Amino acid sequence: MIMLMTLWKKTCVLSSMLLLATSAFAAEPITASISFGSIGLGSWNTQVEFKEIQVTGSDGKVLYNAGELKDMSDWTAATGEWAAKGGSLVQTGKDTPAIAILKRKWGDCAFTFKARKTGGAEGFLIPFQVADGQEKHWWNLGGSEKANQSYFEGGDLPADSKTFVAQKDQWYDIKLEIQGAHVRCYVDGTLMHEITRGLTLIGVGSWKTQVEFKDIQIAELDGRSLYSSAGITSLSGWNTSKGKWLVKDGVITQTGNDSPALAVLDKSWGDCILTLKARKTGGEEGFLILFQSKDIQDKHWWNLGGWANKQCGLEGAGLPTDRKSITLETGRWYTLKIEMEGMNVRCFVDENLIHDAICTK
């Protein structure tokens, strides 16, 4: 299992580097707003066949059309025994998993195909939004110990288990609609799953530093307001961990010396834009801005003025090391913004882009 997963991980990285020659990909580049990762097909100890494979952009434009598949030139077979046969993509091995991925990254799109099981114990695996280095991030259709479930595995995907049994030699029409963190999954035209990937927490804090926060806004990517701290008079709706927190004149204040002191909104969020004003009133370092955190103890934050008030950086599982030099002035208000779209995170200070990163977990 370890060797197979290692190979799958290496192939995910390799797929982002391969150049395509003659293929069924659209000639023009993808115009989606963001590249989420790879998509593909697979199985677990099961023999399967796929045909009429197509990827369509959010504008309806066809980005990939396998047609009568003649070869594997558009695909990378990570594990399994894959071949193009009779116009279909066929997997005849017993690997756990057997994975083939398209040699391109994808943004918002619809992924459609027909699938049938020709032998084995379970059903189909449909990898999607797979980041470089991820071991698995897929829709498991016909999996589990009893081979009778449809659910998700990997990363920040909710399980959302439903009953499904893949019948041998029966063709199924399958579709995934991917729009940012929102995913819809259909079997034979019936909606089976509708999930939002990465519902996580947002908050503010500090490390041995006294701080103030105001004008906290959370908005959809299209600008629709989801939360505003305007008129705030108490910490109702917030959960705190350590620190001395209070609200005065619409400002959230932390006067303690804890490491860390955190205040987190008691609601989960998907893709969004967080903006706020922050200032340091005393202490050794600067601000902590939590984002995409699974719980209040989860270290997943933007650290501004950390490392003795000399640097800022992203900290947490799946985040790259991307430290930049910064020194925060005591008493000065800074305007901060974090854009969270899929796995991409962009961080700004006073409208200047500081970090542009991909979070893989």
Q: pLDDT by residue for the chain (361 residues), tens digit each?
A: 333 344 344 344 333 333 333 456 554 333 333 445 789 999 999 999 999 999 999 889 999 999 999 999 999 998 999 999 999 999 999 999 999 999 888 888 999 999 999 999 999 999 998 876 666 889 999 998 778 899 998 866 777 899 999 999 999 999 999 987 789 999 999 999 998 776 678 999 999 999 999 999 999 888 889 999 999 999 999 999 999 999 999 999 999 999 999 999 988 787 889 999 999 999 999 999 999 887 666 678 999 999 999 999 999 888 888 899 999 999 999 999 999 887 789 999 999 999 999 887 6
Q: Which residues does 278 contact at the CB level (< 8 Å), separation at least 6?
A: 204, 211, 212, 213, 287, 289, 304, 333, 334, 336
φ, ψ for residue 165 (rounded to 5)?
Answer: -120, 120
Domains 2-196 and 201-358 share a fold: yes
Cα radius of gyration (the chain): 23
Q: Where are the domains of the chain?
A: 2-196, 201-358
Q: How many helices (H) and strands (E) does the chain have?
A: 2, 30
Sign (positive or negative) of CA dihedral 38, 43, 45, 47: negative
pLDDT of residue 326: 96
| The domain made up of 201-358 is a member of CATH 3.10.310.10 | no
Question: Is there a contact between 221 and 213 (Cβ–Cβ < 8 Å)?
Answer: no
pTM of the entire predicted model: 0.60
Kindly list the distances between the CA atom of residue 261 and the CA atoms of 217, 280, 289, 320, in Å, as whole numbers in the listed order.
21, 14, 11, 23
Domain spanning 2-196: CATH 2.60.120: yes
CA angle 200, 303, 221 (to 5 degrees): 45
Tokens at 282, concatenated: 């005393």
If residue 10 lies in a helix (H) or strand (E), which one and from where to where?
helix 2-15
